[in-house]
Amino acid sequence: MAKTTVVRTAAKAKALVGAKARTIAKTEPVSAKKKAGTTRNPLAPERIEAILDALRQTYPGVVCALNHENAWELTVATILSAQCTDVRVNLVTPALFKAFPTPKAMAVASLPELEELIRTTGFFRNKAKSIQGAGRVVTETFSGKVPQTMEEILTLPGVARKTGNVVLGSWFGIAVGVVVDTHVMRLSKRLELTKETSPEKVERDLMKILPQDRWIAFSHELIHHGRQVCIARKPRCADCTLERLCNSADKTWSSH
């Protein structure tokens, strides 16, 4: 997809989300402030339920933003997404998977070839070693199929809990945890769902307060929300579904 088309598509998506969010936000309850920047009871079950409901309405049927056709492609794409945007990964993977479509093919590929194909994703030398190594382990240990347990998938080079959760949740529909990327981390703290600063601890906090049947969708919803509305430097609070439920100190607009 051409860069100009990606930009136009993103702008259109933001406009649609903004209009829908303003409508939904009017029906959400107000989250009472304890003081400026904090909520009186941020983990109250009714508040968590309202947050989940608003996200579900805003992003119905949301799916993983990384393009893939099978578990192996999703595994590779997620490894490549470290310190890189999903848009960039989606531009790189078609040629990569055309050249090396299977774990076995990637396992025997030369590192220079892999590096050249994924160069623009950043940290390409380490990532090339990881996807080559992952292909080797999947081929030799798991008969060419991506494993379906967290314990096993963590044995693949380049795979940590985030990647494991993405693959197990998005492809296999297995909710063993919550994907915590930079967007989920940032928004969870803004919404006062956690005070932790490490992905592992944030994930544990989220698993305690979210129903397990929402673990997979919640991450996708929050990631899309972080990209389109709750932007890091200047959140678009006027277009936010969760605006009335959020008392973050860096809000740019407030209806209450």
CATH, domain 3-64+179-245, list 1.10.540.10, 2.40.50.140, 3.20.20.100, 1.10.1670.10: 1.10.1670.10
- Span 110-127, pLDDT tens digits: 999 999 999 999 999 999
Residue ranges of the chain with per-residue pLDDT less than 50: 1-8, 10
Alpha helices in the chain (DSSP H): 3-25, 45-58, 71-80, 86-99, 103-107, 111-118, 124-141, 150-153, 161-170, 182-190, 199-209, 215-228
CA distance 39 to 256: 13
CATH architecture of 71-170: Orthogonal Bundle (1.10)
Strand partners, 55: none
pTM, to two decimals: 0.87
What pLDDT, on a 0 to 100 scale, did the predictor assign at position 36? 83
Active site residues: 162, 181
- Span 123-143, pLDDT tens digits: 999 999 999 999 999 999 999
Q: Where are the domains of the chain?
A: 3-64+179-245, 71-170
CA distance 83 to 13: 23
What pLDDT, on a 0 to 100 scale, did the predictor assign at position 218? 97
What pLDDT, on a 0 to 100 scale, did the predictor assign at position 198? 96
What pLDDT, on a 0 to 100 scale, did the predictor assign at position 220? 96
Our CA angle for 75, 67, 134, nearest 5°, is 15
Residue type, 84: C
User: Maximum CA pair distance of the chain?
Assistant: 59
Q: Are 103 and 79 in contact (CB under 8 A)?
A: no
